[in-house]
Structure 1
Amino acid sequence: MADQDLLLFARESASRGDDLFSLLSLDSTATDQDVRRAFRKKALTAHPDKAGDSYDPALYERLERTRDVLLSPEAREVYNNGMKAILEKKRQREQMGAKRRQMVEELERREEEAKRQKVEVVVGDERREKLKAMAARGKQKWEELRARELMKEREREGESRQQQQPTETAGKERDYDEEIAELERNLAEKKRLKAERKARKKQEEAQATSSVPSDTGKEKDIADQDVKVSAATTTKTTTDAGGEAAGTGQSGNKFASTMARLRAAQAKKDEEKRRREEEAAKGGATE
């Protein structure tokens, strides 16, 4: 079965009165074999390999379409029927008078013009649709190209970030190292100050401890002097007792009171000494 394009070509050729048989130097009784032989003969001169610079692509295409129409039973029948109708109209027109023939020709001209405009509208619509489709494809292609460009830009940005990241990391590591070194210096300074304070306190404690025996020695000397005074007083009292028998009891009371005072003074000194040693021991434990 012939395709629609081939049938349309046959119908349009008949409506224009194109003699396809004459194009191949044939008549209406030509067989398929005659058509093929005639086409090969024409193609020898019209083919681009043979024609060279005089090659006419429109002519060669018309020869191919003519061959296809005449070899297709359906397309050939459409063409023959169209040509018969054209010949019949021509015969009838020849039988008409001049005025009527002019009217018919004018009417046919208008019909052909209307058909041509209709075809142009259809072709224009088809062309517009094709242009729209081409624009849509172009837009899609542009979007695809733009998407690829964006992807490449993102890849380049990612590579740039990867190249910058080691540098930033090294900078951060250097900052961390500096902070750690500063903390270590501060800690060492604090330890040094603490050691100095501790040494200074120990020195003060040593000085305080060395001063305690000196005070104790003074107190001991005072006690010895008191004892000597008491002994002298006792001796004097004893001597006086030999001369005055009546004052014996009074001298004994004085001696007892003196000894009591000496013991109280010694106890007070011992208590103060003990209290200072306890305070010194508490201070050492606190440090």
Structure 2
Amino acid sequence: MKFITFLTTDNEQKWGIVPNGDTIVDGTGSGYARLLDVIQGGDPALTEVKEWFQQGDAKTYAWDEVKILPPIKPLKNVICVGKNYAEHALEMSNQDPGAIPKYPVFFTKPHTALTGHGTYIESYPHITTELDYEGELAVIIGKEGKNIPAAEAMDYVFGYSILNDVTARDLQRRHKQFFKGKSLDTFAPFGPVIAHKSLIPDPQQLTIQTFVNGEERQHGSTQDMIFSVAQLIESLSAGMTLEAGDIIATGTPSGVGKGFNPPKLLKAGDEVSITIEPIGTLSNRVR
């Protein structure tokens, strides 16, 4: 199943199930007000939703008559992973092999940076002149856990989505850390859906493609991650509780704008589209 959150023309926030590419089934009739409630409810909630969905009498919407929102708003910051693809670490360090990390590099983005599919990425020209994109696989945690071994990590995953880790490279360089340059409002386009893990048996066999104005910039595979999804969950949960609804952005492959010579940075009017099948495509325009 694929899950989505949206606004109706009456400005009502709802969540839904996407059975195909053209239809959204209103999920609020299932008794769960938010998609996050379903995730936090675990397997019993998911079973109830499936049984309700099979009755087939819920209201439906077309994609073009609603506004797509981020699928969920997490309880805490979005957890991100830096330099998790060797080629990306090299392109950002003038091909220095020492830039490839021996341990996962973690940072966060605040929930206020989240924005949905089809919305705008603000360019903030008075703040940054080096706006960049990073297409990433996002993992949504499905149940609380701590000290989770990699062998059991998939039991703690609810599903997967797409996140664009938008970055102001000059702010990142100026402040000598990741947080500020990656945390401005709209700097985390997320969605358009969460694909339940049953649709993705192996998250290390996915292709990530990023296009800017139709030009393919990134074409990577999650099999090239330095640290797999399971390893990231093991490392993160060591001594730290992961909660249902936590979002982990797992890093970006090579091909970011700053990695080109000369750089191909974003500007107002550009459209960024990130595709990871079978999740779908996340598209946003810069303004």
Specify the TM-score bucket, using the shorter chain as the normaliser.
Answer: under 0.3
Q: TM-score, normalised by structure 1?
A: 0.17
- Greater per-residue strand proportion: 2
- Greater per-residue helix proportion: 1
Give the structure, 1 or 2, with the largest relative contact order (CA under 8 Å, sep 6 or more). 2
Q: TM-score, normalised by structure 2?
A: 0.17
- Computing the radius of gyration from Cα coordinates, the structure with the larger value is 1
